[in-house]
Amino acid sequence: MIDSVPPPDSSSDAIPAPLRGAELIRDEVTRLPDRPGVYRMFGEGGEALYVGKARSLKKRVIQYAQGRFHTNRIALMVELTRSMEFTLTRTEADALLLEINLIKQLKPRFNVLLRDDKSFPEIVIRRDHRAAQLRKHRGAHSLKGDYFGPFASAGAVNRTLNTLQKAFLLRSCSDSVFESRTRPCLLYQIRRCAGPCVDLVSEADYAELVGEAEAFLRGRSRAVIARLSQDMEAAAEALEFERAARLRDRIRALAAVAQESQIRADTLEEADVFALHAEGGAVCVQVFFFRAGQNWGNRAYFPRAEGGESEAAVLAAFMGQFYDDRPIPRLILVNLPPDEVELLAEAFSLKSGRKVEITTPRRGEKRELVDHAAQNAREALGRRLAESSAQSRLLAGVGEAFGLDVAPERIEVYDNSHIMGTNAVGGMIVAGPDGFQKSQYRKFNIRNAELTPGDDYAMMSEVLRRRFSRLAKEEAEGSEPPRPDLVLVDGGAGQLAAALEVLADLGLEDIAVVGVAKGPDRDAGLERFFLPGKPPFMLEPKSPVLYFLQRLRDEAHRFAIGTHRARRAGEMFANPLDEIEGVGPARKKALLHAFGSARAVASASVEDLIKIDGVNQALAQRIFDHFRK
């Protein structure tokens, strides 16, 4: 029998107020074990404030409730905390790996954040075809083959690929192009490919070229060059001067790659170099990649830090997030030891399945590499601070020009692109104190089929309605999505009126909107600006603010045009096999390998189609009928 409990007397028993801040943390600690794990702090609206790890959750979390040795940043974080979550782990290294992953997912306000986490390009020699393909690759290693990288930029990869084509004559074309060739392409004519598509090189000789390319990319460049030099001398002695000349050109190309890098590391098989420099409240981390004794490029990062963290703590947080989804080399050189360096090395070893060493060299070649990276970090941060100062002045000038109360922190610029209404797209770019924020760019495929082709007003309305409907919805749900301080639309009074109507419908009239109309004959410097309730006006021709607004408009135009071209190219090169239900990537690949092209598939009979692996009677009939509608 269950005794019924009378309802509480509302006059005497009030509902207790929810715990918050230090009180909440003290209450959570009473239930925490003395074990490793990860803790998360959340604010009023459920937004992530902080993610941390601990060897002992109980001992670490109680420190936040004691109110001692707190910086202003930590005190504010504790004050804003409204809920917490915990995850137990087997070891502290496991906790560190989980912490890194959660920071990248949640992007908490009070953690150090790696702002640019785009994957690095690599070079891959594909092995799933009778003629191996040399190509650029980015992302997961889903292709069967040998991967080499990372390279710091697409430009570094393209330069290396260009040289490797000259030196080893490996094909770069797609499988469908390869299978459909009946005569050699231009790359063969200019000595960038051996022509395996039309059997101008035997499979054995082509395999030898592939082996030489792999050896070179693995650091055995001197051996490859020495072997080619011997072949060249033998060809010259045999009076095969044309072959000797081809070998000479290949040797020159390889020597150019070997000598291209100004700084080399002959004693390093593979290593990454990190150098951190902090100044003026900002931080720069310069990363160099060394593979096969060669410098494969470098990149500067500017992680977001709220302030109060030591340089060692910032470097440790940065390195953890940097390697969250990237391959980890055996050796990592740093200009200063990151926090908990032994634990970080243990976590990296656990993640990569091999021993990883993190060291701060004191002398020799490795020390020179670290010093070179540190110099680059200092110079990059100096340029960044100078640009930020100039950017702040420009934003203040924009606010003054358009009558804003304060300088805008986030400017969104919108532009549309189409050809007579076809493949219409809209583009949004974002700029602020840190310049262009490319991770915030958005593209919008125009979906309304009832639009009159070329109706720029209606297209602008659709783009803005989709963007700001989402903003209004998220704000209504209590979250804090990025909200622009200023919206620039490409166009005059018509586009401005369309934008104002959309914002009024959504209750967002407090967002400032300006129309930017190009001058006569699209002349830069003669732009007219349209504000609600004011006559159009122009800025001084040599005004820095005008130049800045032109850059914003040009960037939006570039982004919209690029998006439009990509969409148009996608439709232009769309394969009709993609439209057939039941023909996925594997069957499409099998059909193209068997018949050489989609046109040949279209001409095939049902009996011929059934012979392809994975194609049954029903699918063969469907393919046959598709091309005979």
pLDDT tens, 417-465? 766 556 678 889 999 888 888 888 998 887 776 666 667 888 888 889 9
- CA–CA gap between residue 505 and residue 543 (Å, rounded): 35
pLDDT, residue 231, reads 77
Rounded to 10°, the helix 203-217/221-237 angle is 140
- CA–CA gap between residue 93 and residue 347 (Å, rounded): 5
pTM for the full predicted model = 0.63
- CA–CA gap between residue 533 and residue 493 (Å, rounded): 11
pLDDT, residue 9, reads 52
Same-fold call for 270-383 versus 411-571: yes
Q: Is 302 exposed, middle or buried (0-12, 13-18, 19+ CB in 10 A)?
A: middle
Phi and psi at residue 218, to the nearest 5° = -90, 5
State the DSSP string of 55-118: SSHHHHHHHHHH--S--HHHHHHHHH--EEEEEE-SSHHHHHHHHHHHHHHH--TTS-B-S--P
pLDDT, residue 1, reads 38
May I ask the CATH class of domain 21-106?
alpha beta
Q: Is 356 helix (H, G, I), strand (E, B) or coil?
A: coil
Phi and psi at residue 299, to the nearest 5° = -150, 145
- Please tell us whether the domain made up of 270-383 is placed in CATH 3.30.420.10: yes
Helical spans, DSSP H, in 520-616 = 544-572, 585-595, 598-603, 606-610
Cis peptide before 481 (omega within 30 of 0): no
pLDDT, residue 3, reads 44
- CA–CA gap between residue 240 and residue 225 (Å, rounded): 19
pLDDT, residue 275, reads 94
CB 53 within 8 A of CB 96: yes
Q: Which CATH number is associated with domain 576-626? A: 1.10.150.20
Tens of pLDDT, residue by residue over 83-129, are 999 999 999 999 999 999 899 888 898 888 887 666 778 888 888 88
Mean pLDDT, consecutive 10-residue stretches, the chain (629 aa), reads 45 66 88 92 90 91 77 84 92 91 88 75 87 85 83 76 81 85 86 87 88 78 73 79 75 61 60 89 88 78 80 92 86 93 92 92 89 90 80 90 91 80 79 86 79 76 91 82 91 90 90 85 72 89 86 88 70 66 80 77 85 86 82
Each domain of the chain, given as residue ranges in start order, spans 21-106, 122-260, 270-383, 411-571, 576-626
Q: What would be the CATH architecture of the domain defined by 411-571? A: 2-Layer Sandwich (3.30)
Q: Which residues contact 484 (CB under 8 A, 6 or more apart)?
A: 408, 410, 411, 412, 430, 511
Alpha carbon distance, N-terminus to C-terminus of the chain: 74
